[in-house]
């Protein structure tokens, strides 16, 4: 029997909830709805959703305040779905623990693709991801080996550390701050240019066309994501 993943939709606009509900239901997800923060926290406790879609503009509480609460109180995977498109809002949500951020208005196919990605990450998180394929690149996290078209690629320790950060959560945006804290812990607040230079060298080594990167995607002003093979085929 196919397992139906449960998705909690949190939005104060009924038409948005109906739109998302219809798209998820067609894709065979079970859905639960909440129209405010209080209802969302109660549904989080009673329904135990696999994925939560959270609007930030709730009537009784700012959605950003809910992000750490959701991560503390449950193991739900959290996608922000909000009309707030400022870079600082996106960075704040991701740094607080959100797993992804989708800006309104959105395409329902993209929403479903984001849900598929976070569910794949969720299913592999418990046992770790042994290896990830992105195009013709394989990142073997168990053995610390990177191959392109079957040939081992030499990376510096910091290059590998950044790539491994992205590969642990393929398809998910990892913010500049999150990467910098791991790779340059003493300098992460002021030297994002270190990361930009390193990403350029990684693309030179891994991308077929570094000027048109397909593997390491850039979320402008926010961070980077590794676009792994099944994400590329899912659309």
* pLDDT tens digits, 99-134: 999 999 999 999 999 998 888 777 666 555 568 888
For 171-178, what is the mean pLDDT?
89
Does this model's pTM top 0.85? My answer is no
Closest CA to 226 of 169, 150, 142: 169
Record the tokens describing residue 154, joined without a space: 């030499």
Domain with CATH 1.10.10.10 in the chain: 131-234
For 134-152, what is the mean pLDDT?
88
CATH number, span 131-234: 1.10.10.10
Record the tokens describing residue 163, joined without a space: 């790539």
* pLDDT tens digits, 55-98: 999 999 999 999 999 999 998 999 999 999 999 999 999 999 99
CATH number, span 6-125: 3.40.50.2300
For 180-189, what is the mean pLDDT?
72
105 preceded by a cis bond (ω within 30 of 0): yes
Record the tokens describing residue 151, joined without a space: 């040939």
The C-alpha atoms of residue 98 and residue 71 are separated, in whole angstroms, by: 8
Residue 201 confidence (pLDDT): 96
Q: Do residues 114 and 100 lie in contact, with contact meaning Cβ atoms separated by under 8 Å?
A: yes
The C-alpha atoms of residue 38 and residue 46 are separated, in whole angstroms, by: 13
Residue 208 confidence (pLDDT): 94
Three-state secondary-structure class, residue 213:
coil
């Amino acid at each position: 029997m196919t397992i139906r993943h449960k998705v909690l939709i949190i939005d104060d606009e009924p038409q948005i909830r109906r739109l998302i509900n219809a798209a998820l239901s067609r894709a065979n997800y079970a859905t639960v709805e909440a129209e405010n923060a209080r209802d969302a926290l109660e549904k989080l406790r009673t329904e135990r959703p696999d994925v939560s879609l959270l609007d930030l503009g709730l009537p009784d509480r700012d959605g950003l305040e809910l992000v750490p609460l959701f991560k503390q109180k449950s193991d739900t995977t959290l996608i922000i779905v909000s009309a707030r498109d400022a870079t600082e809002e996106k960075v704040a949500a991701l740094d607080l623990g959100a797993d992804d951020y989708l800006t309104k208005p959105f395409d329902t196919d993209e929403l479903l693709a984001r849900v598929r990605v976070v569910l794949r990450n969720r299913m592999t998180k418990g046992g770790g991801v042994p290896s990830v394929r992105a195009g013709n690149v394989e990142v073997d996290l168990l053995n610390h080996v990177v191959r392109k078209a079957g040939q081992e690629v030499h990376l510096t320790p910091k290059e590998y550390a950044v790539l491994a950060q992205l590969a642990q959560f393929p398809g998910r945006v990892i913010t500049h701050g999150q990467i910098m804290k791991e790779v340059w812990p003493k300098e992460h607040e002021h030297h994002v240019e270190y990361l930009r230079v390193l990403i350029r060298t990684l693309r030179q080594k891994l991308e077929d066309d570094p000027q048109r990167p397909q593997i390491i995607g850039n979320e402008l002003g926010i961070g980077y994501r590794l676009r792994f093979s099944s994400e590329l085929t899912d659309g």
